[in-house]
Copies of this chain bind each other. A is one copy, B any other.
Amino acid sequence: MRIEDLETPAVLIDLDIVNANIARAQALFDGLGMAFRPHVKTHKLPELAALQRAAGARGIAAQKISEAEVFAAAGFTDILLCTTLLSPAKIARARRLAAQGRFALVADSVEAVSALSARGTAPLTVLVECDTGGGRCGVQGPEAAASLAERIAEAPGLRFGGLMTYPRAGGTARVQSFMAAASALVRAALGDCPVISSGGTPDLARAGAAPIVSEFRAGTYVYNDRSLVERGACGLGDCALTVLASVLSTPTPDRAILDSGSKTLTSDLMGLSGHGLILEAPGARIAGLSEEHGHVILDGALLRVGQKVRIVPNHACPVSNLVDQVVFHRAGLVERRVTVAARGTIV
């Protein structure tokens, strides 16, 4: 069966492109002598994480404890959870994962360290999350990082695991300077800073510019998407995830309506204009989305009712999370459907 024969909308994964993306990234980090830890939030598929591991990845990163649990159940035994946990129930789940293999999570506040700390248990490994410019979570400077590292090292039931950051795109130089200062302070206080973890697909190719980093995390690189093409981080031919959609209507000469809207493509604009690139009509613009419709301004492109098209979405990661299954194919030939094991793991 060819992908054009599938019912629409469908989320397609080109396995040849996936394998090339995995091999290229792993070769880069092998060359740098830097550990590579793929983030599974993008694909949420143990099967693809197994390909990443087979290529040489050092463990995986997950964003939710429930996501980590799905991969632990699938046999992954080296997991970095890139969030802190505050609720006793979730912390108990983390301790269960820690009992099964290498497991670490992060904290960026005294409150989080207090919540994670517990007497009379096997130690839980905690990295200090650092805000190196990303403007999300994280301590605000190297001194604060070292101070929290000491707090973790002293806390009952915790082990200091290192420093972690999710930097802003283009922020590699700041990662280097922040982490150099923070790790020096940590080493002066504690003698060791076991891991310095940074990440982000937008700056994956520039990872070598922050050699202080010991481990790099990236998720989207496995699929890529329109936002990464627009940033120059990859080419259109490197985009493994596409949404197959049908043209439902061409109500005016300049408008076509697709059967794929925000419930498949998501509303993520990622700073771009338009909601994805139509491979068969790159000059057309997906100007708007309703829930189950894509609104296309044709700008001279030709689409006919019933035609199937493939869309490179702005952001691949949330698309995976919307569907129960994706379709693996090679060069347009369907291989099989795969259940998105960790879809909806938000708690």
Nearest CB on B from A264, distance (A): 6
| CA gap between A133 and B28 in the complex, in Å | 52
Find A347's partner among B10, B111, B248, B262 (CB 8 Å cutoff).
B10
- A263 adjacent to chain B (CB < 8 Å): yes
| CA gap between A45 and B43 in the complex, in Å | 28
With both beta carbons as reference points, the residue of chain B lying nearest to A295 in the complex is identified as B136
Find chain B residues with CB under 8 A from A249 CB: 84, 108-109, 112, 137-138
| CA gap between A87 and B4 in the complex, in Å | 12
Find chain B residues with CB under 8 A from A41 CB: 291-292
With A137-B251, A317-B291 known as contacts, the answer to whether A86 contacts B344 (CB < 8 A) is no
With both beta carbons as reference points, the residue of chain B lying nearest to A67 in the complex is identified as B292
Find A138's partner among B246, B251, B259, B347 (CB 8 Å cutoff).
B251
With A84-B248, A268-B267 known as contacts, the answer to whether A90 contacts B322 (CB < 8 A) is no
B-contacting residues, A221-268, CB 8 Å: 246, 248-252, 255, 257, 259-260, 262-264, 266-268
Find A251's partner among B87, B131, B269, B317 (CB 8 Å cutoff).
B131
Instruction: Give how many A residues have a beta carbon under 8 Å from the other chain's beta carbons.
Output: 59
B-contacting residues, A97-134, CB 8 Å: 108-109, 111-112, 115, 131
With both beta carbons as reference points, the residue of chain B lying nearest to A314 in the complex is identified as B267
- A346 adjacent to chain B (CB < 8 Å): yes
Nearest CB on B from A261, distance (A): 9
With both beta carbons as reference points, the residue of chain B lying nearest to A292 in the complex is identified as B63
Asked if A9 and B263 make an inter-chain contact with CB atoms under 8 angstroms apart, the answer reads no
Nearest CB on B from A225, distance (A): 13
B-contacting residues, A113-165, CB 8 Å: 115, 131, 135-140
With both beta carbons as reference points, the residue of chain B lying nearest to A266 in the complex is identified as B267
Q: Beyond A86-B306, A109-B249, A262-B318: 14 further Cβ-contacts under 8 Å?
A: A7-B89, A8-B87, A41-B292, A64-B292, A83-B292, A136-B290, A137-B249, A137-B293, A140-B252, A291-B317, A291-B318, A291-B321, A322-B344, A323-B346
Interface residue ranges, A against B (CB under 8 Å): 7-10, 41, 63-64, 83-84, 86-87, 89-90, 108-109, 111-112, 115, 131, 135-140, 246, 248-252, 255, 257, 259-260, 262-264, 266-269, 290-293, 295, 304-306, 317-318, 321-324, 344, 346-347
